Chain A
Amino acid sequence: MKNPSRSSWVARPRMRAAAIAALLVGIFVFDTGTNLEIAGAVFYVVVILLAIGLLSTRGVVALAAFCVLLTLVSFALTPSGARGAGLANSAISIAAIGITAYLGVKRAAAEAAAYEARSQLVRMARMTNLGAFTASIAHEVNQPLAAVVTSANASLRWLDQDPPNLDRARRSVDRIIADANRASAVIARLRGLARREPPRRERINLNEVIAEAVTLARQELGRNGISLQLDLATDVPPVLADRIQMQQVLGNLLLNAIEAMEAVPVARRGLEVRSFQEGSGRVAFAVEDSGVGLPAEMQAHLFEAFWTTKPGGMGMGLAICQSIVESHGGHIAAAPRLRGGAVFQVSLPAEEVRHERA
Protein backbone atom coordinates (compact mmCIF):
# COMPACT_ATOMS: atom_id res chain seq x y z
CA MET A 1 0.00 0.00 0.00
CA LYS A 2 2.87 2.32 0.79
CA ASN A 3 4.99 0.70 -1.88
CA PRO A 4 5.54 3.05 -4.84
CA SER A 5 5.59 0.12 -7.29
CA ARG A 6 1.97 -0.52 -6.41
CA SER A 7 0.96 3.10 -6.67
CA SER A 8 -0.87 2.58 -9.99
CA TRP A 9 -3.27 0.29 -8.20
CA VAL A 10 -3.47 2.53 -5.21
CA ALA A 11 -4.32 5.50 -7.33
CA ARG A 12 -7.46 3.71 -8.58
CA PRO A 13 -9.16 2.32 -5.49
CA ARG A 14 -12.49 1.96 -7.25
CA MET A 15 -10.99 -0.36 -9.86
CA ARG A 16 -9.46 -2.42 -7.13
CA ALA A 17 -12.76 -2.74 -5.28
CA ALA A 18 -14.43 -3.83 -8.52
CA ALA A 19 -11.71 -6.42 -9.14
CA ILE A 20 -12.21 -7.81 -5.65
CA ALA A 21 -15.98 -8.14 -6.15
CA ALA A 22 -15.53 -9.78 -9.56
CA LEU A 23 -12.97 -12.24 -8.20
CA LEU A 24 -15.20 -13.14 -5.26
CA VAL A 25 -18.06 -14.00 -7.59
CA GLY A 26 -15.79 -15.79 -10.11
CA ILE A 27 -14.01 -17.92 -7.53
CA PHE A 28 -17.29 -18.81 -5.85
CA VAL A 29 -18.85 -19.93 -9.12
CA PHE A 30 -15.69 -21.86 -10.10
CA ASP A 31 -15.36 -23.49 -6.68
CA THR A 32 -19.01 -24.47 -6.53
CA GLY A 33 -19.15 -25.62 -10.14
CA THR A 34 -16.09 -27.87 -10.10
CA ASN A 35 -15.57 -31.18 -8.33
CA LEU A 36 -14.81 -31.27 -4.63
CA GLU A 37 -11.33 -32.59 -5.54
CA ILE A 38 -10.47 -29.20 -7.09
CA ALA A 39 -9.52 -26.64 -4.42
CA GLY A 40 -10.79 -23.50 -6.17
CA ALA A 41 -11.26 -21.76 -2.83
CA VAL A 42 -7.49 -21.40 -2.47
CA PHE A 43 -7.71 -18.51 -4.96
CA TYR A 44 -9.50 -16.41 -2.32
CA VAL A 45 -5.98 -15.52 -1.13
CA VAL A 46 -5.74 -13.29 -4.23
CA VAL A 47 -8.83 -11.40 -3.01
CA ILE A 48 -7.25 -10.98 0.42
CA LEU A 49 -3.97 -9.74 -1.07
CA LEU A 50 -5.86 -7.19 -3.18
CA ALA A 51 -7.85 -6.00 -0.19
CA ILE A 52 -4.79 -5.37 1.98
CA GLY A 53 -4.08 -1.67 1.76
CA LEU A 54 -7.52 -0.87 0.37
CA LEU A 55 -9.44 -1.91 3.46
CA SER A 56 -8.69 -1.33 7.10
CA THR A 57 -7.41 -4.19 9.25
CA ARG A 58 -10.92 -4.90 10.43
CA GLY A 59 -12.18 -4.84 6.82
CA VAL A 60 -9.56 -7.38 5.75
CA VAL A 61 -10.47 -9.67 8.65
CA ALA A 62 -14.17 -9.38 7.77
CA LEU A 63 -13.42 -10.13 4.12
CA ALA A 64 -11.34 -13.17 5.13
CA ALA A 65 -14.25 -14.40 7.25
CA PHE A 66 -16.56 -13.86 4.29
CA CYS A 67 -14.20 -15.90 2.05
CA VAL A 68 -14.17 -18.72 4.63
CA LEU A 69 -17.97 -18.62 4.64
CA LEU A 70 -18.07 -18.78 0.83
CA THR A 71 -15.69 -21.74 0.90
CA LEU A 72 -17.99 -23.61 3.28
CA VAL A 73 -21.09 -22.71 1.24
CA SER A 74 -19.34 -23.93 -1.93
CA PHE A 75 -18.45 -27.16 -0.16
CA ALA A 76 -22.09 -27.67 0.79
CA LEU A 77 -23.42 -26.77 -2.66
CA THR A 78 -20.93 -28.63 -4.82
CA PRO A 79 -22.85 -31.56 -6.25
CA SER A 80 -20.07 -33.94 -7.32
CA GLY A 81 -16.85 -35.36 -5.93
CA ALA A 82 -15.45 -37.19 -2.92
CA ARG A 83 -16.56 -35.65 0.37
CA GLY A 84 -13.29 -36.59 2.11
CA ALA A 85 -11.12 -34.85 -0.47
CA GLY A 86 -13.50 -31.87 -0.50
CA LEU A 87 -13.28 -31.55 3.28
CA ALA A 88 -9.48 -31.63 3.14
CA ASN A 89 -9.41 -29.10 0.27
CA SER A 90 -11.77 -26.77 2.11
CA ALA A 91 -9.65 -27.00 5.26
CA ILE A 92 -6.50 -26.21 3.28
CA SER A 93 -8.22 -23.26 1.56
CA ILE A 94 -9.50 -21.89 4.85
CA ALA A 95 -6.04 -22.20 6.40
CA ALA A 96 -4.51 -20.43 3.37
CA ILE A 97 -7.05 -17.59 3.60
CA GLY A 98 -6.46 -17.21 7.33
CA ILE A 99 -2.68 -17.23 7.06
CA THR A 100 -2.66 -14.78 4.12
CA ALA A 101 -4.96 -12.39 5.95
CA TYR A 102 -2.91 -12.61 9.14
CA LEU A 103 0.48 -12.12 7.47
CA GLY A 104 -0.84 -9.41 5.13
CA VAL A 105 -2.38 -7.40 7.94
CA LYS A 106 0.76 -7.74 10.01
CA ARG A 107 2.96 -6.61 7.13
CA ALA A 108 0.70 -3.67 6.37
CA ALA A 109 0.82 -2.61 10.02
CA ALA A 110 4.62 -2.82 10.03
CA GLU A 111 4.79 -0.76 6.84
CA ALA A 112 2.42 1.80 8.27
CA ALA A 113 4.55 2.07 11.41
CA ALA A 114 7.71 2.50 9.33
CA TYR A 115 6.02 5.14 7.21
CA GLU A 116 4.78 6.96 10.29
CA ALA A 117 8.30 6.96 11.73
CA ARG A 118 9.69 8.31 8.48
CA SER A 119 7.18 11.14 8.20
CA GLN A 120 7.81 12.03 11.85
CA LEU A 121 11.46 12.27 10.97
CA VAL A 122 10.82 14.49 7.97
CA ARG A 123 8.62 16.75 10.07
CA MET A 124 11.24 16.89 12.78
CA ALA A 125 13.98 17.71 10.29
CA ARG A 126 11.86 20.50 8.90
CA MET A 127 11.23 21.84 12.40
CA THR A 128 14.90 21.57 13.32
CA ASN A 129 15.92 23.52 10.25
CA LEU A 130 13.40 26.22 11.05
CA GLY A 131 14.46 26.21 14.68
CA ALA A 132 18.11 26.59 13.77
CA PHE A 133 17.26 29.33 11.29
CA THR A 134 15.25 31.23 13.88
CA ALA A 135 17.98 30.87 16.50
CA SER A 136 20.55 32.18 14.06
CA ILE A 137 18.45 35.25 13.22
CA ALA A 138 17.77 35.86 16.89
CA HIS A 139 21.51 35.77 17.57
CA GLU A 140 22.27 38.16 14.70
CA VAL A 141 19.80 40.73 16.00
CA ASN A 142 20.47 40.19 19.67
CA GLN A 143 24.21 40.87 19.50
CA PRO A 144 23.93 44.51 18.39
CA LEU A 145 21.00 45.01 20.76
CA ALA A 146 23.08 43.74 23.66
CA ALA A 147 25.83 46.13 22.61
CA VAL A 148 23.35 49.01 22.45
CA VAL A 149 22.07 48.35 25.96
CA THR A 150 25.57 48.01 27.37
CA SER A 151 26.82 51.15 25.64
CA ALA A 152 23.81 53.09 26.86
CA ASN A 153 24.54 52.01 30.42
CA ALA A 154 28.17 52.99 29.99
CA SER A 155 27.13 56.36 28.61
CA LEU A 156 24.94 57.00 31.67
CA ARG A 157 27.82 56.09 33.94
CA TRP A 158 30.17 58.51 32.14
CA LEU A 159 27.54 61.25 32.52
CA ASP A 160 27.01 60.44 36.20
CA GLN A 161 30.66 60.99 36.98
CA ASP A 162 31.61 64.19 38.70
CA PRO A 163 32.49 66.04 36.55
CA PRO A 164 30.66 64.21 33.74
CA ASN A 165 32.98 62.72 31.14
CA LEU A 166 31.18 64.13 28.11
CA ASP A 167 33.75 62.95 25.62
CA ARG A 168 33.48 59.31 26.64
CA ALA A 169 29.67 59.56 26.93
CA ARG A 170 29.53 60.89 23.35
CA ARG A 171 31.69 58.03 22.11
CA SER A 172 29.32 55.55 23.77
CA VAL A 173 26.36 57.17 22.06
CA ASP A 174 28.16 57.05 18.70
CA ARG A 175 28.56 53.32 19.16
CA ILE A 176 24.88 53.00 20.07
CA ILE A 177 23.94 54.59 16.76
CA ALA A 178 26.26 52.31 14.81
CA ASP A 179 24.97 49.18 16.54
CA ALA A 180 21.31 50.13 16.20
CA ASN A 181 21.91 50.63 12.48
CA ARG A 182 23.57 47.25 12.35
CA ALA A 183 20.54 45.58 13.95
CA SER A 184 18.29 47.38 11.52
CA ALA A 185 20.43 46.17 8.60
CA VAL A 186 20.03 42.57 9.77
CA ILE A 187 16.25 43.00 9.78
CA ALA A 188 16.32 44.59 6.33
CA ARG A 189 18.41 41.69 5.01
CA LEU A 190 16.00 39.22 6.54
CA ARG A 191 13.02 40.94 5.00
CA GLY A 192 14.75 40.85 1.64
CA LEU A 193 15.37 37.16 2.12
CA ALA A 194 11.77 36.43 3.06
CA ARG A 195 10.37 38.36 0.14
CA ARG A 196 13.35 37.71 -2.11
CA GLU A 197 13.21 41.29 -3.24
CA PRO A 198 12.94 42.11 -6.03
CA PRO A 199 11.10 39.00 -7.18
CA ARG A 200 11.76 37.98 -10.76
CA ARG A 201 8.85 38.66 -13.04
CA GLU A 202 8.55 36.57 -16.16
CA ARG A 203 5.76 35.46 -18.43
CA ILE A 204 4.75 32.08 -17.17
CA ASN A 205 2.04 29.65 -18.07
CA LEU A 206 0.26 28.59 -14.89
CA ASN A 207 -0.54 25.19 -16.40
CA GLU A 208 3.19 24.49 -16.69
CA VAL A 209 3.77 25.47 -13.08
CA ILE A 210 0.88 23.26 -11.99
CA ALA A 211 2.25 20.33 -14.02
CA GLU A 212 5.69 20.77 -12.45
CA ALA A 213 4.35 21.00 -8.91
CA VAL A 214 2.10 17.98 -9.41
CA THR A 215 5.04 15.99 -10.74
CA LEU A 216 6.96 16.81 -7.60
CA ALA A 217 4.01 15.74 -5.44
CA ARG A 218 3.17 12.58 -7.38
CA GLN A 219 5.26 10.30 -5.21
CA GLU A 220 3.61 11.63 -2.08
CA LEU A 221 0.16 11.27 -3.67
CA GLY A 222 0.84 7.66 -4.58
CA ARG A 223 2.17 6.87 -1.14
CA ASN A 224 -1.02 8.18 0.41
CA GLY A 225 -3.32 6.42 -2.05
CA ILE A 226 -4.74 9.69 -3.37
CA SER A 227 -6.31 9.74 -6.81
CA LEU A 228 -5.51 12.87 -8.79
CA GLN A 229 -7.60 14.68 -11.32
CA LEU A 230 -6.14 17.49 -13.42
CA ASP A 231 -8.54 19.83 -15.13
CA LEU A 232 -6.45 22.50 -16.85
CA ALA A 233 -8.03 25.03 -19.20
CA THR A 234 -6.11 25.14 -22.47
CA ASP A 235 -6.66 28.84 -23.13
CA VAL A 236 -5.31 30.40 -19.93
CA PRO A 237 -3.36 33.61 -20.70
CA PRO A 238 0.14 33.86 -19.25
CA VAL A 239 0.80 35.73 -16.01
CA LEU A 240 3.77 37.86 -14.98
CA ALA A 241 5.10 36.08 -11.94
CA ASP A 242 8.03 34.56 -10.16
CA ARG A 243 8.03 30.91 -11.21
CA ILE A 244 9.77 29.62 -8.09
CA GLN A 245 7.41 31.48 -5.80
CA MET A 246 4.38 30.17 -7.68
CA GLN A 247 5.76 26.66 -7.33
CA GLN A 248 6.15 27.29 -3.61
CA VAL A 249 2.49 28.33 -3.39
CA LEU A 250 1.31 25.27 -5.28
CA GLY A 251 3.63 22.95 -3.41
CA ASN A 252 2.31 24.26 -0.11
CA LEU A 253 -1.32 23.87 -1.15
CA LEU A 254 -0.70 20.32 -2.43
CA LEU A 255 1.11 19.34 0.75
CA ASN A 256 -1.68 20.78 2.89
CA ALA A 257 -4.27 18.90 0.84
CA ILE A 258 -2.36 15.62 1.24
CA GLU A 259 -2.10 16.13 4.98
CA ALA A 260 -5.80 17.04 5.23
CA MET A 261 -6.69 13.68 3.68
CA GLU A 262 -4.61 11.58 6.07
CA ALA A 263 -7.60 11.13 8.35
CA VAL A 264 -10.08 9.98 5.69
CA PRO A 265 -10.20 6.40 4.31
CA VAL A 266 -8.01 5.73 1.28
CA ALA A 267 -11.02 5.00 -0.91
CA ARG A 268 -12.31 8.51 -0.33
CA ARG A 269 -9.06 10.38 -0.95
CA GLY A 270 -9.21 12.50 -4.06
CA LEU A 271 -7.35 15.61 -5.20
CA GLU A 272 -8.39 17.87 -8.01
CA VAL A 273 -6.32 20.70 -9.47
CA ARG A 274 -8.02 23.04 -11.90
CA SER A 275 -6.96 26.10 -13.83
CA PHE A 276 -9.39 28.46 -15.50
CA GLN A 277 -9.90 31.96 -16.73
CA GLU A 278 -11.76 34.12 -14.28
CA GLY A 279 -13.70 36.94 -15.94
CA SER A 280 -12.06 40.36 -16.38
CA GLY A 281 -8.56 39.21 -17.38
CA ARG A 282 -7.71 37.09 -14.39
CA VAL A 283 -6.27 33.61 -14.28
CA ALA A 284 -7.04 31.27 -11.43
CA PHE A 285 -6.18 27.86 -10.18
CA ALA A 286 -7.84 25.80 -7.49
CA VAL A 287 -6.70 22.89 -5.37
CA GLU A 288 -9.58 20.76 -4.08
CA ASP A 289 -9.21 17.97 -1.58
CA SER A 290 -11.62 15.52 0.01
CA GLY A 291 -9.95 15.85 3.41
CA VAL A 292 -11.24 16.76 6.81
CA GLY A 293 -12.55 20.12 5.59
CA LEU A 294 -12.60 23.60 7.07
CA PRO A 295 -14.76 24.34 10.10
CA ALA A 296 -15.98 27.94 10.16
CA GLU A 297 -13.74 28.89 13.10
CA MET A 298 -10.69 27.68 11.16
CA GLN A 299 -11.38 29.80 8.11
CA ALA A 300 -10.88 33.01 10.04
CA HIS A 301 -7.30 32.11 11.01
CA LEU A 302 -6.11 30.10 8.01
CA PHE A 303 -3.76 32.72 6.64
CA GLU A 304 -2.43 34.00 9.95
CA ALA A 305 1.23 33.39 10.60
CA PHE A 306 2.01 30.89 13.39
CA TRP A 307 -1.57 29.60 13.39
CA THR A 308 -1.67 25.87 12.80
CA THR A 309 -3.87 22.82 13.31
CA LYS A 310 -1.01 20.41 12.76
CA PRO A 311 0.92 18.96 15.68
CA GLY A 312 4.48 20.12 15.09
CA GLY A 313 3.39 22.61 12.41
CA MET A 314 4.83 26.11 12.25
CA GLY A 315 1.76 27.81 10.84
CA MET A 316 3.83 29.54 8.17
CA GLY A 317 2.79 27.77 4.95
CA LEU A 318 -0.44 29.58 4.13
CA ALA A 319 0.83 32.88 5.52
CA ILE A 320 3.76 32.71 3.11
CA CYS A 321 1.42 31.67 0.26
CA GLN A 322 -0.74 34.69 0.92
CA SER A 323 2.17 37.11 1.01
CA ILE A 324 3.53 35.71 -2.27
CA VAL A 325 0.16 35.82 -4.02
CA GLU A 326 -0.55 39.34 -2.81
CA SER A 327 2.87 40.57 -3.88
CA HIS A 328 1.80 39.45 -7.38
CA GLY A 329 -1.38 41.52 -7.19
CA GLY A 330 -3.49 38.42 -6.70
CA HIS A 331 -5.59 36.96 -3.92
CA ILE A 332 -5.99 33.63 -2.26
CA ALA A 333 -9.14 32.26 -0.67
CA ALA A 334 -10.23 29.10 1.05
CA ALA A 335 -13.70 27.57 1.21
CA PRO A 336 -15.24 24.29 2.30
CA ARG A 337 -16.00 21.93 -0.57
CA LEU A 338 -19.62 20.89 -1.03
CA ARG A 339 -18.85 17.14 -0.98
CA GLY A 340 -16.54 17.48 2.04
CA GLY A 341 -12.99 18.73 2.05
CA ALA A 342 -11.65 22.13 1.12
CA VAL A 343 -10.95 24.31 -1.90
CA PHE A 344 -8.06 26.73 -2.04
CA GLN A 345 -8.26 29.14 -4.93
CA VAL A 346 -5.61 31.56 -6.14
CA SER A 347 -6.39 34.19 -8.69
CA LEU A 348 -3.80 36.32 -10.48
CA PRO A 349 -4.06 39.15 -12.99
CA ALA A 350 -3.38 37.99 -16.55
CA GLU A 351 -0.40 39.59 -18.21
CA GLU A 352 -2.24 41.65 -20.85
CA VAL A 353 -4.31 43.44 -18.24
CA ARG A 354 -1.30 44.37 -16.17
CA HIS A 355 0.36 45.59 -19.32
CA GLU A 356 -2.57 47.88 -20.24
CA ARG A 357 -2.68 49.35 -16.75
CA ALA A 358 1.02 50.05 -16.83
Chain B
Amino acid sequence: MSARDLAGEPEQATVYVVDDDRSVRDALADLLASVGLDVRCFGSTQELLRTGVADTPGCLVLDVRMPGQSGLDFQRQMAGLGIERPVIFITGHGDIAMSVKAMKNGAIEFLTKPFNDQELLDAIQQGIDADRSRRCEARALAELRERWKSLSRGEQEVMRLVVQGLLNKQIAAHLSVSEITVKVRRGHVMRKMQADSLADLVRLSDRLQLDPELH
Protein backbone atom coordinates (compact mmCIF):
# COMPACT_ATOMS: atom_id res chain seq x y z
CA MET B 1 0.00 0.00 0.00
CA SER B 2 1.64 3.24 -1.08
CA ALA B 3 1.31 6.59 0.59
CA ARG B 4 -0.38 8.03 -2.48
CA ASP B 5 -2.96 5.35 -2.32
CA LEU B 6 -3.91 6.22 1.20
CA ALA B 7 -4.39 9.79 0.05
CA GLY B 8 -7.09 8.44 -2.28
CA GLU B 9 -5.28 9.08 -5.56
CA PRO B 10 -5.28 6.25 -8.04
CA GLU B 11 -1.88 4.62 -8.40
CA GLN B 12 -0.13 5.01 -11.76
CA ALA B 13 -0.76 1.87 -13.80
CA THR B 14 1.98 0.17 -15.81
CA VAL B 15 1.54 -1.75 -19.05
CA TYR B 16 4.09 -4.50 -19.72
CA VAL B 17 4.58 -5.23 -23.41
CA VAL B 18 6.33 -8.48 -24.40
CA ASP B 19 7.00 -8.92 -28.11
CA ASP B 20 10.11 -10.27 -29.80
CA ASP B 21 9.76 -7.84 -32.69
CA ARG B 22 11.45 -4.55 -31.94
CA SER B 23 9.37 -2.52 -34.40
CA VAL B 24 6.11 -3.73 -32.91
CA ARG B 25 7.44 -3.10 -29.41
CA ASP B 26 8.54 0.46 -30.17
CA ALA B 27 5.31 1.28 -31.97
CA LEU B 28 3.26 -0.06 -29.05
CA ALA B 29 5.32 1.91 -26.55
CA ASP B 30 4.73 5.03 -28.63
CA LEU B 31 0.98 4.46 -28.92
CA LEU B 32 0.56 3.82 -25.20
CA ALA B 33 2.72 6.83 -24.35
CA SER B 34 0.54 9.02 -26.58
CA VAL B 35 -2.43 8.31 -24.30
CA GLY B 36 -0.34 8.87 -21.18
CA LEU B 37 0.18 5.27 -20.10
CA ASP B 38 3.35 4.09 -18.39
CA VAL B 39 4.88 1.37 -20.57
CA ARG B 40 7.72 -1.12 -20.09
CA CYS B 41 8.83 -3.20 -23.06
CA PHE B 42 10.51 -6.60 -23.12
CA GLY B 43 11.81 -8.79 -25.92
CA SER B 44 10.95 -12.03 -24.17
CA THR B 45 9.12 -13.36 -21.14
CA GLN B 46 12.49 -14.26 -19.59
CA GLU B 47 13.51 -10.61 -19.85
CA LEU B 48 10.30 -9.59 -18.12
CA LEU B 49 10.92 -12.11 -15.33
CA ARG B 50 14.48 -10.81 -14.81
CA THR B 51 13.18 -7.28 -14.31
CA GLY B 52 10.05 -8.34 -12.45
CA VAL B 53 6.66 -6.73 -12.18
CA ALA B 54 6.20 -3.72 -9.88
CA ASP B 55 3.63 -3.78 -7.09
CA THR B 56 1.36 -1.38 -8.91
CA PRO B 57 -1.78 -1.96 -10.96
CA GLY B 58 -1.23 -2.90 -14.58
CA CYS B 59 -1.69 -5.42 -17.31
CA LEU B 60 0.35 -7.45 -19.76
CA VAL B 61 0.31 -7.24 -23.54
CA LEU B 62 1.80 -10.53 -24.79
CA ASP B 63 2.76 -11.65 -28.25
CA VAL B 64 1.65 -15.25 -28.79
CA ARG B 65 4.46 -16.39 -31.04
CA MET B 66 7.91 -15.72 -29.64
CA PRO B 67 11.14 -17.64 -29.69
CA GLY B 68 11.85 -19.15 -26.30
CA GLN B 69 8.55 -19.16 -24.50
CA SER B 70 5.25 -18.43 -26.20
CA GLY B 71 2.84 -15.98 -24.67
CA LEU B 72 0.28 -18.73 -24.10
CA ASP B 73 2.76 -20.85 -22.12
CA PHE B 74 3.71 -17.83 -20.06
CA GLN B 75 0.07 -17.07 -19.30
CA ARG B 76 -0.35 -20.57 -17.86
CA GLN B 77 2.72 -20.15 -15.62
CA MET B 78 1.94 -16.63 -14.43
CA ALA B 79 -0.12 -17.66 -11.39
CA GLY B 80 2.68 -19.96 -10.24
CA LEU B 81 5.18 -17.12 -10.62
CA GLY B 82 3.01 -14.82 -8.52
CA ILE B 83 2.25 -12.48 -11.42
CA GLU B 84 -1.45 -11.78 -11.26
CA ARG B 85 -2.05 -9.35 -14.07
CA PRO B 86 -4.75 -9.35 -16.75
CA VAL B 87 -3.39 -10.45 -20.14
CA ILE B 88 -4.10 -9.12 -23.61
CA PHE B 89 -2.77 -11.21 -26.49
CA ILE B 90 -1.57 -9.88 -29.78
CA THR B 91 -0.70 -12.26 -32.58
CA GLY B 92 0.29 -12.23 -36.21
CA HIS B 93 -1.67 -15.34 -37.10
CA GLY B 94 -4.53 -15.97 -34.74
CA ASP B 95 -6.54 -19.10 -35.16
CA ILE B 96 -9.75 -19.88 -33.36
CA ALA B 97 -8.35 -22.75 -31.29
CA MET B 98 -5.56 -20.51 -30.04
CA SER B 99 -7.87 -17.68 -29.06
CA VAL B 100 -10.28 -20.06 -27.33
CA LYS B 101 -7.39 -21.43 -25.30
CA ALA B 102 -6.23 -17.96 -24.37
CA MET B 103 -9.69 -16.75 -23.39
CA LYS B 104 -10.33 -19.91 -21.36
CA ASN B 105 -7.17 -19.16 -19.42
CA GLY B 106 -8.63 -15.76 -18.60
CA ALA B 107 -7.24 -13.42 -21.24
CA ILE B 108 -9.03 -10.07 -21.59
CA GLU B 109 -8.69 -9.87 -25.35
CA PHE B 110 -7.09 -11.66 -28.28
CA LEU B 111 -6.13 -9.25 -31.07
CA THR B 112 -4.74 -10.06 -34.50
CA LYS B 113 -1.99 -7.84 -35.86
CA PRO B 114 -2.39 -5.30 -37.26
CA PHE B 115 -4.97 -4.42 -34.63
CA ASN B 116 -7.29 -1.48 -34.19
CA ASP B 117 -5.60 0.92 -31.75
CA GLN B 118 -8.84 1.78 -29.97
CA GLU B 119 -9.64 -1.87 -29.39
CA LEU B 120 -6.23 -2.39 -27.85
CA LEU B 121 -6.47 0.72 -25.69
CA ASP B 122 -9.96 -0.28 -24.53
CA ALA B 123 -8.73 -3.74 -23.64
CA ILE B 124 -5.78 -2.27 -21.76
CA GLN B 125 -8.08 0.08 -19.85
CA GLN B 126 -10.35 -2.83 -19.00
CA GLY B 127 -7.34 -4.81 -17.84
CA ILE B 128 -6.07 -1.99 -15.66
CA ASP B 129 -9.52 -1.46 -14.13
CA ALA B 130 -9.81 -5.16 -13.44
CA ASP B 131 -6.39 -5.20 -11.82
CA ARG B 132 -7.24 -2.14 -9.71
CA SER B 133 -10.36 -3.77 -8.32
CA ARG B 134 -8.49 -7.03 -7.77
CA ARG B 135 -5.82 -5.14 -5.78
CA CYS B 136 -8.51 -3.22 -3.87
CA GLU B 137 -10.23 -6.45 -2.99
CA ALA B 138 -6.97 -8.06 -1.91
CA ARG B 139 -6.15 -5.06 0.28
CA ALA B 140 -9.57 -5.11 1.94
CA LEU B 141 -9.22 -8.79 2.66
CA ALA B 142 -5.74 -8.31 4.10
CA GLU B 143 -7.07 -5.58 6.39
CA LEU B 144 -9.94 -7.78 7.50
CA ARG B 145 -7.48 -10.55 8.25
CA GLU B 146 -5.51 -8.11 10.43
CA ARG B 147 -8.68 -7.24 12.37
CA TRP B 148 -9.38 -10.93 12.92
CA LYS B 149 -5.85 -11.50 14.15
CA SER B 150 -6.24 -8.63 16.62
CA LEU B 151 -9.00 -10.58 18.41
CA SER B 152 -8.05 -12.64 21.44
CA ARG B 153 -8.61 -16.38 21.24
CA GLY B 154 -11.72 -16.11 23.42
CA GLU B 155 -13.10 -13.31 21.27
CA GLN B 156 -12.53 -15.36 18.12
CA GLU B 157 -14.47 -18.26 19.67
CA VAL B 158 -17.34 -15.96 20.60
CA MET B 159 -17.42 -14.49 17.11
CA ARG B 160 -17.55 -17.92 15.49
CA LEU B 161 -20.58 -18.84 17.59
CA VAL B 162 -22.30 -15.45 17.30
CA VAL B 163 -22.31 -15.59 13.51
CA GLN B 164 -23.83 -19.08 13.71
CA GLY B 165 -26.88 -17.41 15.25
CA LEU B 166 -26.43 -18.64 18.84
CA LEU B 167 -27.81 -16.57 21.73
CA ASN B 168 -25.45 -15.22 24.42
CA LYS B 169 -26.83 -17.75 26.88
CA GLN B 170 -26.16 -20.62 24.50
CA ILE B 171 -22.65 -19.34 23.79
CA ALA B 172 -21.94 -19.06 27.51
CA ALA B 173 -23.03 -22.65 27.99
CA HIS B 174 -21.03 -23.78 25.00
CA LEU B 175 -17.81 -22.13 26.15
CA SER B 176 -18.49 -22.70 29.89
CA VAL B 177 -18.14 -19.01 30.74
CA SER B 178 -20.58 -16.54 32.25
CA GLU B 179 -23.09 -14.71 30.09
CA ILE B 180 -21.48 -11.43 31.20
CA THR B 181 -18.12 -12.52 29.79
CA VAL B 182 -19.76 -13.39 26.48
CA LYS B 183 -21.39 -9.94 26.36
CA VAL B 184 -18.05 -8.20 27.04
CA ARG B 185 -16.20 -10.27 24.44
CA ARG B 186 -19.01 -9.72 21.96
CA GLY B 187 -18.63 -5.96 22.43
CA HIS B 188 -14.89 -6.23 21.78
CA VAL B 189 -15.51 -8.28 18.65
CA MET B 190 -17.96 -5.69 17.24
CA ARG B 191 -15.49 -2.88 17.92
CA LYS B 192 -12.32 -4.59 16.72
CA MET B 193 -13.95 -6.00 13.58
CA GLN B 194 -15.51 -2.58 12.93
CA ALA B 195 -18.92 -4.16 12.47
CA ASP B 196 -22.01 -1.93 12.77
CA SER B 197 -24.50 -4.71 13.26
CA LEU B 198 -24.82 -8.46 13.60
CA ALA B 199 -25.61 -8.65 9.89
CA ASP B 200 -22.40 -6.74 9.14
CA LEU B 201 -20.39 -9.11 11.33
CA VAL B 202 -21.88 -12.13 9.54
CA ARG B 203 -20.90 -10.60 6.19
CA LEU B 204 -17.31 -9.96 7.37
CA SER B 205 -17.07 -13.47 8.74
CA ASP B 206 -18.28 -14.84 5.41
CA ARG B 207 -15.48 -13.04 3.62
CA LEU B 208 -12.98 -14.40 6.12
CA GLN B 209 -14.31 -17.91 5.63
CA LEU B 210 -13.41 -17.57 1.96
CA ASP B 211 -9.86 -16.78 2.89
CA PRO B 212 -7.88 -20.02 2.79
CA GLU B 213 -5.13 -18.66 5.04
CA LEU B 214 -7.39 -18.87 8.06
CA HIS B 215 -8.04 -22.59 7.65
Contact = CB atoms under 8 A, between A and B. Distances in A.
B26 A147 contact: yes
B30 A151 contact: yes
B33 to A, nearest CB: 8
Nearest to A138: B93
Interface stretch (B4-12, B47-55, B110-118, B201-209): B110-118
Contact of B27 (A138, A139, A175): A175
B88 to A, nearest CB: 14
Contacts of B28: 150
Given A151-B27, A175-B23, A143 B92 contact: yes
A147 B93 contact: no
Interface stretch (A7-15, A64-72, A153-161): A153-161
B34 A182 contact: no
A143 B24 CA distance: 7
Contact of A150 (B31, B35, B92, B93): B31
B65 interface: yes
B31 A154 contact: yes
Contacts of A138: 92-93
B143 interface: no
Contacts of B117: 149-150, 153-154, 157
Nearest to B28: A150
Contacts of B115: 146, 149-150
Contacts of A158: 34
Given A143-B24, A147-B24, A171 B92 contact: no
A154 B30 contact: yes
A154 B27 contact: yes
Interface residues of B, number: 19
B34 A139 contact: no
A153 B31 contact: yes
A288 B90 CA distance: 52
B27 A147 contact: yes
Contacts of A139: 65, 92-93
A148 B24 CA distance: 8
Interface in A264-323: none
Contact of A157 (B35, B93, B113): B35
Contacts of A154: 27, 30-31, 33-34, 117
Interface string B58-89: 00000001000000000000000000000000
A130 to B, nearest CB: 15
B21 interface: yes
Interface of B: 21, 23-24, 26-28, 30-31, 33-35, 65, 90, 92-93, 113-115, 117
Interface of A: 135, 138-139, 142-151, 153-154, 157-158, 161, 165, 168, 171-172, 175, 178-179, 182
30 contacts: A135-B93, A138-B92, A138-B93, A142-B93, A142-B113, A143-B21, A143-B24, A143-B113, A144-B23, A145-B114, A146-B90, A146-B113, A147-B27, A148-B114, A149-B114, A149-B115, A150-B24, A150-B27, A150-B30, A150-B31, A153-B117, A154-B33, A154-B34, A154-B117, A157-B117, A158-B34, A168-B30, A172-B27, A178-B23, A179-B27
Given A146-B24, A158-B34, 13 more contacts: A139-B93, A142-B113, A143-B21, A143-B23, A146-B90, A146-B113, A146-B114, A157-B31, A168-B34, A171-B30, A172-B27, A179-B27, A182-B23
